[in-house]
């Protein structure tokens, strides 16, 4: 950031004020939260320090405002944090009334130090740290306040609250918030909070790859909080109590929106647009609603009644759903003629990527693409078990195919992957469960030729690989070992190395621009394509991603469509790119406590059955797991130029 006058961010002192000598360069080489430039920020105060950009900034008033903001988040559950903040607020108030003294500054320091080492949670341990910096480095301003030479003023401020887990979540769910509600036995309120950003809580609570848990501060202490299972617990508890319904709109607007694709992105957009009182029609080419959640994820991971219940709620608030309706026949003009004011394209990525092996295009019997295999299976097609199946790929789709084959009754299920276990993109839980179920993993090999006899697959010729230098993805690139070809006999081959979209979606004169990666090109903020009024999002824009990514896009597209139709612009807030949210200047002692486990379906019972494998928490277990959350809320307050 340019023109930093003073910074204590990350504990690194940069002081360029008059009369101060600082070895640090004028431009601070620290990664700060990025503030919206149009607000012309003067100074910011956050959990990790104080940063001053403009000499006009009023640090004492900023400190007061920051204290007021963190006071709102202090839970009062331990005696030092909330009372400590109250005392600090009172001391500043006394100073402003002319009742303060120099000794108050020492008392403030003592209180802050006490709260930081003594608080129960991560919030209390970190929130007051920057206040220590302001009274240390801007002491003269506080002394001026005591002497009556300065007044407290309410300037123009903005405030944001986040947490390491929240920043890691694509949809920025208020994770500490919904966990706290569970801790307090308020499952219904917790679910309401989850639904604000995630309209498929039971689905995401089962299938999410939970980037939040990787960002959990507890991961470095013992184990991350089981955030995904807690979300599931909120959804399960609701179902056990009969299932709540969603609040639909009372009045209707005239404008109607067409959504193409009833996957998570389309459903999230439909839900949010309905809340904004728009008429919504979703066109779905398949006979089932749910997109990849319905036809890509096997039932043993996501029971259909859970998915259907959550879809049903969205239907019941007045979203019109047309299944078995491919939009190809409709052009964009037709849609507009039919009275749709905007179109959201969210068709997903349902076509498998080619593996580059000889013979893959020959249409052999016994060669089925992974997404097609799962789709057929989920649409009710009976697959005859054979002796052996080879699944090609190392992602979750490959694992889903392999584990489904175990359930269908294949004797021998093998995965071949061109890199090693470390580089495998599938989640660890999936790999472990697959191993328990008897799936055999073959690493460092790739198929070069599909072998067939009389049009039917008999085997696959592979070549061995070794790992070379890391590629753009950071993973080591696999390199074929010359002359290492060998053959594996098999009855069925399922390639599952990636997916792409079936494009173009709408054959129209004004074609929607497609990128060289075969995805739809959109504006990164508004999600609008180069055709006005046509928006796109989800897998068909990003390539294959996780459910929560698609839900996030759907939420945002709804807001963007609203702005487009009503005239308005999307607010650009603070961003934390490159900022280490886990880091906190103070860290008290945290009692170690392992995560609450859940039961799994006995391995012996898994073959021949698509029954759900992973169990959930009962309410007491969920409440006890929720106790583990360290509540690492991070607050940033900044003063804006008026």
Partner 1 sequence: MVTIVIDGRKVKAKENSTILENTQELNIDIPTLCFHNDLSSFGACRLCMVEVNTNGKWQLATSCNTPVEDGMEIRTDSDRVQESRKLTAELLYYKYPTTEAVREVARKLGVQTPEEKGEGHDCILCGLCVRTCREIVGVSALTFQDRGRGRDIDEPKIEFDPNSCIGCGSCAYVCPTGYVQMESVGDKRIIWNKVFNMVACKVCGRFFAPEDQLKYISKETNVPFDKLTTCTNCR
Q: Given candidates 15, 77, 320, 510, which one binds partner 1 under the rule CB under 8 A?
A: 77
Q: Taking CB under 8 A as the rule, does residue 110 contact partner 1?
A: yes
Coil, strand or helix at 120: coil
Q: Taking CB under 8 A as the rule, does residue 221 contact partner 1?
A: no
Nearest approach, Cβ of residue 220 and partner 1 (Å): 14
Taking the C-alpha atoms of residue 385 and residue 413, their distance in angstroms, rounded to an integer, is: 11
- By beta-carbon proximity to partner 1, the closer residue of 77 and 508 is 77
Taking the C-alpha atoms of residue 361 and residue 351, their distance in angstroms, rounded to an integer, is: 14
Coil, strand or helix at 638: strand
Q: Taking CB under 8 A as the rule, does residue 517 contact partner 1?
A: no
**Contact present, 357 and 447 (Cβ < 8 Å):** yes
The size of the interface with partner 1 (CB under 8 A), counted in residues, is 37
Q: Taking CB under 8 A as the rule, does residue 122 contact partner 1?
A: no
Q: Taking CB under 8 A as the rule, does residue 394 contact partner 1?
A: no
- By beta-carbon proximity to partner 1, the closer residue of 4 and 193 is 193
Nearest approach, Cβ of residue 570 and partner 1 (Å): 20
Q: Taking CB under 8 A as the rule, does residue 346 contact partner 1?
A: no
Nearest approach, Cβ of residue 433 and partner 1 (Å): 30
Q: Given candidates 74, 197, 281, 378, which one binds partner 1 under the rule CB under 8 A?
A: 74
Q: Given candidates 453, 591, 602, 642, which one binds partner 1 under the rule CB under 8 A?
A: 591
Q: Taking CB under 8 A as the rule, does residue 109 contact partner 1?
A: no
Q: Taking CB under 8 A as the rule, does residue 633 contact partner 1?
A: yes
Nearest approach, Cβ of residue 172 and partner 1 (Å): 11
Q: Taking CB under 8 A as the rule, does residue 83 contact partner 1?
A: yes
Q: Taking CB under 8 A as the rule, does residue 13 contact partner 1?
A: no
Interacting span for partner 1 (CB under 8 A) from 1-9, 185-193, 274-282, 424-432: 185-193
- Residue 454 CB neighbour total at 10 angstroms: 7
Q: How far is CA 62 from CA 33, 130, 132, 138, 277, in A?
A: 17, 11, 13, 12, 39
Q: Taking CB under 8 A as the rule, does residue 158 contact partner 1?
A: no
- By beta-carbon proximity to partner 1, the closer residue of 163 and 405 is 163
Beta bridge partner(s), residue 478: 467
Type and span of the H or E element at 211: helix 211-215
* CB crowding 164-187: b at 16 or more within 10 Å, else e: bbbbbbbbbbbbbbbbbbbbeebb
Coil, strand or helix at 614: strand
- Indicate the length of the chain as a whole number: 642
- By beta-carbon proximity to partner 1, the closer residue of 75 and 570 is 75
Q: Taking CB under 8 A as the rule, does residue 607 contact partner 1?
A: no
Interacting span for partner 1 (CB under 8 A) from 14-22, 181-189, 221-229, 338-346: 181-189
Q: Given candidates 73, 460, 546, 626, which one binds partner 1 under the rule CB under 8 A?
A: 73
Strands 634-640 and 156-162: antiparallel
| Structure-token pair, residue 276 | 């904004």
40 φ, ψ to 5°? 50, 65
* CB crowding 501-527: b at 16 or more within 10 Å, else e: bebebbebeeebebeeeebbebeeebb
Q: Given candidates 13, 143, 144, 161, which one binds partner 1 under the rule CB under 8 A?
A: 161
**Contact present, 496 and 391 (Cβ < 8 Å):** yes
Interface residues toward partner 1, by CB under 8 A? 72-80, 82-84, 86-87, 110-111, 114, 117-120, 161, 174, 176-177, 180-181, 184-186, 189, 193, 588-589, 591-592, 633
């Amino acid at each position: 950031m340019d023109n930093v006058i003073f910074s204590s961010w990350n504990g690194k002192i940069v002081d360029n004020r008059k009369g101060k000598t600082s070895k640090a360069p004028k431009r601070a080489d620290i990664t700060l939260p990025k503030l919206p430039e149009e607000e012309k920020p003067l100074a910011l105060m956050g959990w990790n320090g104080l940063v001053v950009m403009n000499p006009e900034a009023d640090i004492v008033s900023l400190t007061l405002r920051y204290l007021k903001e963190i006071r709102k988040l202090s839970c009062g559950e331990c005696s030092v944090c909330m009372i400590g903040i109250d005392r600090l607020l009172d001391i500043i108030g006394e100073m402003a009334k002319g009742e303060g003294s120099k000794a108050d500054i020492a008392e403030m320091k003592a209180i802050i130090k006490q709260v930081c080492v003594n608080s129960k949670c991560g919030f209390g341990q970190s929130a007051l740290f920057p206040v220590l910096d302001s009274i240390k480095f801007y002491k003269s301003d506080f002394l001026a306040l005591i002497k009556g030479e300065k007044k407290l003023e309410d300037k123009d401020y903005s405030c944001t609250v986040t947490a390491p887990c929240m920043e890691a979540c694509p949809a920025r769910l208020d994770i500490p918030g919904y966990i706290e509600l569970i801790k307090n036995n308020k499952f219904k309120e917790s679910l309401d909070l989850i639904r604000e950003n995630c309209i498929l809580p039971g689905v995401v609570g089962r299938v999410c790859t939970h980037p939040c848990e990787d960002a959990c501060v507890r991961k470095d202490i013992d184990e991350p909080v089981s955030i995904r299972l807690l979300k599931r617990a909120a959804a399960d508890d609701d179902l056990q109590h009969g299932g709540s319904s969603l609040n639909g709109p009372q009045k209707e607007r005239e404008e109607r929106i067409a959504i193409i694709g009833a996957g998570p992105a389309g459903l999230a957009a439909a839900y949010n647009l309905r809340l904004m009182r728009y008429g919504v029609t979703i066109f779905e080419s398949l006979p089932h609603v749910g997109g990849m959640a319905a036809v890509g994820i096997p039932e043993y991971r996501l029971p259909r009644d859970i998915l259907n219940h959550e879809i049903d709620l969205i239907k019941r608030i007045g979203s019109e759903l047309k299944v078995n309706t491919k939009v190809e026949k409709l052009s964009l003009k037709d849609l507009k003629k039919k009275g749709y004011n905007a179109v959201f394209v969210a068709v997903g990525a349902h076509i498998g990527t080619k593996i580059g092996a000889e013979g893959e295009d020959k249409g052999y019997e016994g060669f089925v693409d992974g997404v097609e295999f799962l789709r057929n299976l989920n649409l009710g097609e009976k697959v005859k078990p054979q002796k052996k199946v080879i699944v090609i790929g190392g992602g979750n789709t490959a694992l889903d195919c392999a584990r489904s084959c175990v359930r269908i009754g294949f004797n021998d299920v093998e995965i071949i992957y061109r890199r090693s276990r470390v580089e495998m993109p599938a989640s660890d839980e999936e790999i472990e469960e697959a191993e328990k179920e008897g799936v055999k993993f073959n690493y460092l090999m790739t198929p070069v030729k599909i072998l067939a006899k009389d049009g039917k697959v008999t085997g696959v010729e592979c070549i061995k690989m070794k790992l070379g230098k890391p590629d753009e993805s950071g993973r080591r690139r696999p390199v074929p070992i010359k002359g290492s070809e060998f053959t594996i006999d098999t009855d069925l081959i399922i390639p599952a190395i990636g997916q792409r979209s079936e494009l173009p979606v709408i054959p129209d004169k004004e074609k929607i621009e497609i990128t060289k990666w075969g995805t739809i090109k959109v504006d990164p903020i508004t999600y609008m394509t180069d055709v006005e009024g046509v928006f796109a999002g989800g897998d068909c824009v990003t390539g294959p991603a996780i459910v929560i990514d698609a839900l996030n896009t759907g939420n945002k597209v709804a807001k963007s469509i609203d702005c487009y139709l009503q005239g308005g612009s999307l607010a650009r807030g603070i961003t934390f790119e490159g900022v280490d949210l886990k880091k906190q200047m103070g860290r008290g002692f945290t009692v170690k406590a392992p995560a609450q486990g859940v039961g799994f379906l006995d391995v012996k019972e898994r073959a021949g059955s698509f029954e759900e494998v992973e169990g959930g928490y009962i309410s007491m277990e969920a409440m006890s797991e929720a106790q583990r959350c360290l509540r690492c809320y991070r607050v940033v307050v900044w003063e804006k130029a008026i």
